[in-house]
Amino acid sequence: MTGKERCLNAIAGEPVDRVPVFPLLMFFAVDRAKITYRRYATDAAALVDAQLNMRQFNVDALTVCSDAFRLSADLGGDMEYPEMAPPRLTRPLVRNEADLKRLGRPDPLGKGSRMADRVAGVRGIARAAGEECLVLGWVEMPFAEACAICGISDFMMLLHDDPELAHRVLEFVTPLEIDFAIAQIEAGAPMIGAGDAAASLISPKMYREFALPYEQRVCEAVRRRGGMVKLHICGNTNQLLEDMALCGADLFNVDHMVDLGRAADVYGRAGKCFKGNLNPVSDMLQSTPDRCRRRALECIEIAAGRRYMLSAGCEVPAGVTDETFQAFCGAPA
């Protein structure tokens, strides 16, 4: 069974020869490729090579995730590209209604655009390993994107001070994220990772108003094009699990701050696949190979009988040793 088949079967609730291994590898991949993070995030060919290099660890999925500011850059944001850190906006794009009205609808395939660079990354990985591994594209969910273009603190304030404008920002970015996702599906990604980390900072009531409906629209649009969605919300989402399960995603990431047993119950009842939730620091970076393997096996045991993939709760740090990462990847064997 190939990694792609293994992942697709797990998502569908079909038999697998072993639990799929689906980590998020960015800085880890950069470190092993011996390149700068700036190059990884700005040169699709470098990203492709770094991800393909991860096949040496027998992972079942590869991803083009690098940073949260692809669309923001193409909207005209003032960007900074550090050598060894992810790109970021230097100042918010939207502070008021007038700023929002000035923004256009960028083409995700536009020449020289950051979105087009990611689409090229999808295409490169899919051509080289699309039959072997599940290829994951990446977008930000509308709530996370709104926090990116407005500044997270300012957008959180907007939810209270001017909810109507907050919704207009969300209405603006939703079709742009859909455009970006569809471009990656058409480039060969069967699944789109969709980050909504900022949603972990709001209450269930606010999540149901400002995040969930827009997540549902993105998931519905992706599924209409024959794709799947992985919802990735870092942080403590214990209070959001039941609502998250309604967004329409096919796979859910479970961070280490979340009770894996509870997540298994929620997603198990919903018939959804989930992955997680080793602590990237204590269970991997600061761990021995044997301790990491035992922790991975604990997660597999907790999830037994449900649709599950092995993963850390979030990104695997660059400083994790090859021996520890190999022990993690080999745990389901």
**What digits encode the pLDDT tens for the residues 238-256?**
999 999 999 999 999 999 9
**Domains in the chain, number:** 1
pLDDT over 70 percentage in the chain: 100
Answer whether 83's CB lies under 8 Å from 211's CB. no
pLDDT digits (tens, 9 = 90+) for 53-69: 999 999 999 999 999 99
What is the distance, to the nearest Å, from the Cα of residue 327 to the centroid of all Cα atoms in its chain?
Answer: 23
Q: What is the CATH number of the domain that holds 59?
A: 3.20.20.210
Q: Where is 37: in which H helix or E strand? A: helix 37-42
The predicted structure's pLDDT at residue 203:
97
Per-residue model confidence (pLDDT) at position 172: 98
* Confidence at residue 191, expressed as pLDDT on a 0 to 100 scale: 98
Span 282-310, pLDDT tens digits: 999 999 999 999 999 999 999 999 999 99
Domain assignment of residue 229, given as a range: 3-330
Q: What is the pLDDT of residue 50?
A: 98
The residue among 36, 146, 31 whose CA lies nearest residue 83 is 36
- What integer best gives the mean pLDDT of the chain? 98
The pLDDT confidence band at residue 35, using thresholds 50, 70 and 90, is very high
Across the chain, how many H-helices and E-strands are there?
Answer: 16, 9
Q: What is the pLDDT of residue 65?
A: 97
User: What is the distance between the alpha carbons of residues 318 and 142, in angstroms, rounded to a whole number?
Assistant: 29
What's residue 81's pLDDT? 98
∠ CA 38-218-136, rounded to 5°: 45
Q: What is the pLDDT of residue 156?
A: 97
pLDDT of residue 166: 98
Structure confidence at residue 232 (pLDDT): 98
At residue 130 the predicted structure's pLDDT band, cuts being 50, 70 and 90, is: very high
What are the tokens at 156? Answer: 């959180």
H-run or E-run covering 230 = strand 228-232
For the stretch 173-229, pLDDT in tens is: 999 999 999 999 999 999 999 999 999 999 999 999 999 999 999 999 999 999 999
- Digit-coded pLDDT (tens) for 84-107: 999 999 999 999 999 999 999 999
Give dist(CA 173, CA 184) in Å, integer.
17
